[in-house]
Amino acid sequence: MEVTILGSGSPLAQTSRGGQSIVVTVDDEPLLFDCGPMSVERLLDNEFKLRNVTNLFLTHHHMDHNASFFHFAILSWMYGRRDLTVYGPDGTDALIDALGDIYEADIGYREKFGRPVEGISEIGFSTISADSRVSTDDWTVSTHSVDHSIETYAYRIENADGSTVVYAPDTSKIGSLSDFAADADVLIHDAAVGPEREPTDANTTADTESWKQFQATNPKPEDTPIVDVHTSAREAAEIADAANVGTLVLTHFLPFRDTAAMRSTATDVFSGTVRIAEDGLTVSA
């Protein structure tokens, strides 16, 4: 299996980091997890064929995890996708219904170009809950409830050979995640809580301006409830260490985080490999 980080950012706009989204490729089949802002562009950046993505797993309904759903659903259909199943918590059916309600005329217009309705008019969905399980001959995806501000789930993906990837999105530190991620090859874990650094020449002008605009009208993230519903790099590393995973990938970064310091903190408590997520990062499992 191979993991591709499509988006490693947060709800705040960054041109360098898209919203949360990853692909786990199992025997050439791409499984899409979350569909935050810029997901479609990142799929193309990483040379995935949109028509081949037929399974989408949503962790929760915050906009940095699902805002590109409409874009993905319509464009992948235009690019030839004829089947799609969306798995997610309560509200996933409403998201799919909204696609038809809002874009009925848009979809009808595009059908006039000769595209069949398959893939856009009958998108399948399955509401997940704690301990849900989806299996094929090639892979199994199971769920675990985590602690966030709304109903949110982590996913464990296993292939037929036993290789395992765990995606733990927005959550506070919970001990049960160590059991859920036990002996995984790769754990991708929320690390939104982290120290800030000064902008450098490596940052885009747009990212710097976005961060300035946010700071002008909002308190510092560490002074908000974000610290209660997200995880620090140290806490993610403690979970990875208890789970005996091989590689920990820290993700979900606010703008201008000191990722070098966060990685150093994680390596203090976790002896495995620590990677800092960047859009386009690939990790084998």
Question: What domains appear along the chain, each with residue ranges and CATH number?
Answer: 2-284 (3.60.15.10)
What's the CA gap between 100 and 108, in Å, rounded?
Answer: 10
Per-residue pLDDT, 200: 66
Coil/strand/helix, residue 97: helix
What's the CA gap between 165 and 186, in Å, rounded?
Answer: 5
For residue 10 the two structure tokens come to: 């947060």
For residue 32 the two structure tokens come to: 């899409």
> How many degrees, rounded to 5, is the angle at CA 124 between CA 123 and CA 128?
135
Q: Which of 140, 104, 135 lies closest to 121 in space, CA to CA?
A: 104
Predicted TM-score of the model (pTM): 0.97
Per-residue pLDDT, 203: 67
Stretches in the chain below the pLDDT threshold 50: none
For the beta carbon of residue 11, count every other beta carbon within 10 angstroms.
Answer: 17
> How many degrees, rounded to 5, is the angle at CA 123 between CA 122 and CA 125?
125
Which region, left, alpha or beta, applies to residue 153 given φ > 0 means left and ψ of -120 to 50 means alpha?
beta
Per-residue pLDDT, 23: 99
pLDDT tens digit sequence for 35-86: 999 999 999 999 999 999 999 999 999 999 999 999 999 999 999 999 999 9
Per-residue pLDDT, 274: 98
Per-residue pLDDT, 202: 60
